[in-house]
Amino acid sequence: MTVTVMLEPAGRCRWDERVHITVSGLAPRQPFLAPGVRREPVRAGRVRATLFLPPEPAPFPGIVDISAAGGGFLEYRASLLAGKGFAVLALAYYNYEDLPKSLRHVHLEYFEEAVNYLLNHPQVKGPGVGLLGISKGGELCLSMASFLKGISAAVIINGSVHNVWGTLHYKGETLPPVGFNQNRIKMTKDGFVDIVEVLNSSLEGPDQKSFIPVERAECPFLFLVGQDDHNWKSEFYANEASKRLQAHGKAKPQVICYPGTGHYIEPPYFPLCRASLHTFVGTPVIWGGEPMAHARAQVDAWQQLQTFFHKHLRGEKGTIPAKL
């Protein structure tokens, strides 16, 4: 049982293009497919993913898209981005099929296998690939750029600069998770949990070992930051990453901060998620964001990341200034 719904602008709502939403039965993870985009399930070695290919003639610049820590598998952002001329691999990394059920131990070799799969795909052009991640996915992209070869550009959306929740492993090296203090949890007047102050700083004491060695990275970075993020201190993390890179002679990354914007900066016109169940906390938490400011930020961020990838993966010159 399949139905295709075509959504178009009405009244004062402006979409940049029609979006086709395909739903088969009651399957919860069907993608938003732009016209002509091809969807290919990937089961290669340990890699569990879906590859989205544009309708234009190949080869295409490749991007690995990594979602937040909710587990399972999300495809919508990758399928939409493929409509902009990129081969995008939506990568599952835990709590999906035969993948690990938790993030207690994360092995970057799995992500390296995914990068190599994309680089070796006949319809993907190198010499490297891009990374796109949000929240825990952004943190993982920062680790991938720091440890792995073949990364040409990375976009980090409200990611952490230190390793969070579980131990990170790669070829004999480990990064322990940063510490936390539950006594710093606050309650909002609506009865939700605010965890923005819970994590320790990785700039002092034993938690310094959790700081991701971004100075090893060889690729340019774009950090997209919500200044009202209540999951963790994304603006602080982006600035600390920038300081560390420049202190080691690396190029200053692009950091774009959006006032009134919360944690989940999604593609344009997705609704603001102000609070929901946190996978690791086990209770509803607030994510931050004001509806109008957050919506405007999502429109701008979507254009910014495309421009960044076109520049560093396609070699197209020019950037667009942040509008907010």
Catalytic residue among 194, 207, 228, 229: 229
* Phi–psi pair at 146, nearest 5 degrees: -80, -30
Q: Which two tokens stand for residue 264?
A: 């989940």
Q: What number of CA atoms fall less than 13 Å from residue 161's CA on the CB side?
A: 26
Catalytic residue among 263, 294, 310, 312: 263
DSSP state of 211: B
Answer whether 69's CB lies under 8 Å from 102's CB.
no
Q: For residue 30, what are the contacts with CB-CB under 8 A and spacing of at least 6?
A: 21, 22, 23, 24, 75
Catalytic residue among 20, 65, 79, 135: 135
Q: Which two tokens stand for residue 133?
A: 């991640």
Q: Which two tokens stand for residue 159?
A: 């990611």
Instruction: Verify whether residue 135 is a known catalytic residue.
Output: yes
Residue recorded with tokens 């295409």: 60
Q: In whole angstroms, how large is the CA radius of gyration of the chain?
A: 19
3-state secondary structure string across 162-180: ECCCCEEEECCEEECCCCE
Answer whether 154's CB lies under 8 Å from 219's CB.
yes
Contacts for 183-192: CB closer than 8 Å, 24+ residues apart: 188/286, 190/275, 192/275, 192/284, 192/285, 192/286
What amino acid is encoded at 234 in this protein? S
CA distance 265 to 182: 26
Task: State the catalytic residues.
Answer: 135, 229, 263
